[in-house]
Amino acid sequence: MPENVLITGAGRGLGLELARLCSGRGDHVVATVRDTASVAELAALPGVTLATLDLSKSDSVSGAIAELAERAGGMDLVINNAAVNFRGVDHGNGTLSVQTMSADPMLDLFRVNVVGPLLVVRGALPHLAASGHGCVVNVSSWLASVSGFAPGAAANYGYRTTKAALVMATRALAAEVGPMGVTAIAVNPGWMRTEMGGERAELDPADSAAGILDVAARLTPTDGGRFIDWDGTDHPY
């Protein structure tokens, strides 16, 4: 049965592939981007409604999402894919080392990568609860794993800590919205060949997207709060 799906950060990479697959299976997709001027490929997909959303503008996020969900006639699945790394905030290089760190770039990353997804859920929650099988998929990262941290890897404080915080926020969210009939999980999409992941990455975003949608389709209420790899296996916290 076609569903109403909201995908943030849908203009390229993983978000675009998620939108493409949802469109292909007949879903009505509300696809948000920061700038609609350069997303012709996304705009051409059948069943896709484009909308502008900037997660750094916290005061407007929930209201915008509530309006989009209302216009869509409901919401069954929210995929919080939009995120930024150090390149996406002013003076972001300062989040890569404690020796050069300043507060504002770190806080800007938290605003987009952690607070933003929660505000998206806030706006969509009444419709997710009314769906009868509402799901939230928060896209985290393999870099979020505390137990799997590689000491020799780049520190990358802002991105790592925000993606780890998103996993914990998802667990808290699952505890709150589970009784409303909404299942919330975090997923690790893998190291993908995207603008953020680079060309050396191992995984095609189309494969990750297909895996994530398969995971979402198989969710049951007992899965709330899990951190799941794109291929369906559990990822270590």
Q: How open is the CA angle 34-214-192, to the nearest 5 degrees?
A: 50
Element spanning 185, H or E: strand 183-188
Token pair, residue 230, equals: 């794109």
**157 annotated active-site:** no
Do residues 26 and 2 make contact, with C-beta atoms less than 8 angstroms apart?
yes
3-state helix, strand, coil in the chain (%, to 5): 50, 15, 35
Q: Which of 159, 185, 188, 205 is catalytic?
A: 159
CA distances for 111 relative to 8, 32, 119, angstroms:
15, 17, 10
For 100-111, letters b (16+ CB in 10 Å) and e give ebeeebbebbbb
In eight-state DSSP terms, residue 95 is G
Take residue 162 and report the two structure tokens written for it: 């925000």
The Cα–Cα gap between 24 and 77 comes to 16
CA–CA distance, 193 with 199 (Å, rounded to integer): 5
Query: Which whole-number Å values give the CA distances from 26 to 5, 70, 71, 108, 149, in the listed order?
Result: 11, 19, 18, 36, 39
Indicate which residues carry an active-site annotation: 159
